[in-house]
Copies of this chain bind each other. A is one copy, B any other.
Amino acid sequence: MACTPKREEGLPRAIARVEEAARSGARVICLPELFRYPYFCQREDAAWFDLAEPVPGPTTEAIAKVARQKHVVVIAPIFERRAPGLYHNSAVVVDATGEMAGLYRKMHIPDDPGYYEKFYFTPGDLGFRAMQTRVGRIGALICWDQWYPEAARLTALQGASVLFYPTAIGWHPDEKTAQGAVQLDAWRTVQRGHAIANGTYVAVVNRVGYERPPETGQGQGQGIDFWGSSFLCDPQGVVLAEARPDKEEILLAEVDLERIEEVRRNWPFLRDRRIDAYDGIAQRFLEKEPWRDQ
């Protein structure tokens, strides 16, 4: 989706897309990160906290209604207001009954020029999670999480067959010519790598379109050219469907749970994990040489 600058339009436009996807045969539908709004994190301005809402709240209610009506599972990102001064970048997974299957609160929060998310979002405290839905167990992660193998692994270990990544990422216009292709390919590659390493499908849902920075607030940046390129890849990292970088699109593709079984039998990575030797993962950095201590 492109995300509209008109605040009141984001939700009805998304609902219309969900209905259209359902008509096209989708059974699980993922919306992009913070889909209701322009990417306000381009500047730091406390006024934007007005947009946040509780869970459950207006967005989850509207999503639950369409999910129930159309018998589809929906992953709906939310700007979550948990308490005054405590906000999260979240995603609800709504089951095809309209009931909430689970809530995920973005764990890894970026802060880079134009992406001032540490100002807005408290890091999630629910951990990584797969949710049981009518279409099976699926995982919800959000944007910056996509660069972290730990997030993919911990979600896959809970039995997720698909890792969904609602996303808002794009090019700084002044970097696009020189670095744009490499940045996009790195983003695609690291996520295809998660699919391969974990034997899961990976579905990435990004916004499209250029968004200028908000007029108020602090921050650098000449706006962001969101690079779209949403995709679904299989457990060997094969891209089954890929959207364009610059146009709205309903990207529809099939997940074959038998394929997960087949790939994991032949590439049994889960069998051989050295869980006795991974403790250091929970450290920030490992400067000393363990072999010198022995």
Contacts and interface: CB of A to CB of B under 8 A. Distances in A.
Interface of A: 102-103, 107-110, 112, 123, 126-132, 144, 147-154, 157-159, 182-183, 185-186, 189-190, 192-194, 196-197, 236-238, 266-270, 272-287, 289-291
A269 B150 CA distance: 12
Q: How many subunits of this chain does the assembly comprise?
A: 2
A182 B236 contact: yes
Given A102-B291, A289-B129, A291-B102, A108 B274 contact: yes
B154 A280 contact: yes
**Which one of A144, A147, A186, A291 has the highest number of Cβ atoms from chain B below 10 Å of its Cβ?**
A186
A190 B197 contact: yes
A129 B190 contact: no
Nearest to A144: B272
B273 A284 contact: yes
A149 B273 CA distance: 10
B154 A123 contact: no
B269 A157 contact: no
Contacts of A280: 127-128, 154, 157
